[in-house]
Amino acid sequence: MKPKKKYPSEVYLNGKWVKPDEAFVSVFDRAFMFGDGIYEVTPFYNGKAFKLKEHLKRLQYCLNEIQVAIDAFSLEKLMYEAIDRTGLNKADAAVYIQVSRGVAARSHFVPEKIETTVLLYAFPVTLEGFEKKTWEVIATEDKRWHRCDIKSTALLANVMANEEAIAAGFAENLLVRKGYFTEGSHSSLFFVKYGVVHTHPEGHKILSGITRAEVIDICTDLNIKVVEKAVHIDELVEVEEIFVTGTTTQIIPISSITHKDKKVYTAQKDSLTKKIQEVFIKKSRG
């Protein structure tokens, strides 16, 4: 079942706080025309930001990669203002930031002078209870572009992959490139083989997940070995546990994987995943 989402009560758009139905962007905005923009989502537990520095650092990296000159850290005050204005100071929430290259007549060529479009808003999100969930998923070919490290608003391939999973009754679509798992359509991906945690190395094929990095740190604290190496689909017979991570997904174990209408993985256990979840809850709730 698809989650129902509501519009926020207010949004910040280019220097002003307005109601969503009063927020207007030009039809010639490059994020609308080309998907030429960057976005970021930061979680707030009980009104307190978690890994704020890391989220803004990733936003800055992505803006730099597409050569948009904005200081991501200048948005920090606005993020807390969004939380305050929507009355989420003591609630679980998230702040969405979107930066478009800006408005210009449609052309692949970017004008030398162009003013960016900045959108920001806070919204409530359920962050409790993730440790009680398990997901059944599918695995399909990774057909996305080769700059998955950039958190671009051009998410059509991800949306199509996720819709394929939902239409078939699954929670997520794990993507496979030349036989090797990369990540999910909206999550990072971890495997446990013989007590060792495996995850795809950082680079252009995956997003540098903030929760992914936190899980690696937790594993280090727990003396659990982590290997940043891609796992081949044929290796699933050796895999004991699989879990996915994400900003609002947090950490969810995978109970089964279906590939080409055949179940190719069934979880053997979840003990290591549970240990990681327990530490994550303590750290995120502070």
SS3 194: coil
**For residues 229 and 205, what is the distance between their CA atoms, to the nearest angstrom?**
12
User: Which residues does 219 contact at the CB level (< 8 Å), separation at least 6?
Assistant: 197, 225, 226, 276
Long-range contacts of the stretch 54-61 (C-beta < 8 A, 24+): 54/210, 54/213, 55/210, 55/247, 58/151, 58/208, 58/210, 59/97, 59/99, 59/151, 61/208
Q: What is the 3-state secondary structure (H, E, C) of 84-129?
A: HHCCCCCCCEEEEEEEECCECCCCCCCCCCCCCEEEEEEEECCCCC
Q: What is the phi/psi pair of residue 180, to 5°?
A: -105, 135
User: Is residue 30 within a helix (H) or strand (E), and if so which, with residue range?
Assistant: helix 30-34
Beta carbons of 190 and 242 less than 8 angstroms apart: yes
Q: From CA 181, how far away is CA 76, in angstroms rounded?
A: 34
Please pick, among 51, 57, 90, 151, the residue that the annotation labels catalytic.
Answer: 151
The question of whether 151 is a catalytic residue gets the answer yes
Residue 165 has phi, psi (to 5 degrees) of -65, -50
The number of beta carbons lying within 10 Å of the beta carbon of residue 148 is 21
Catalytic positions are: 151
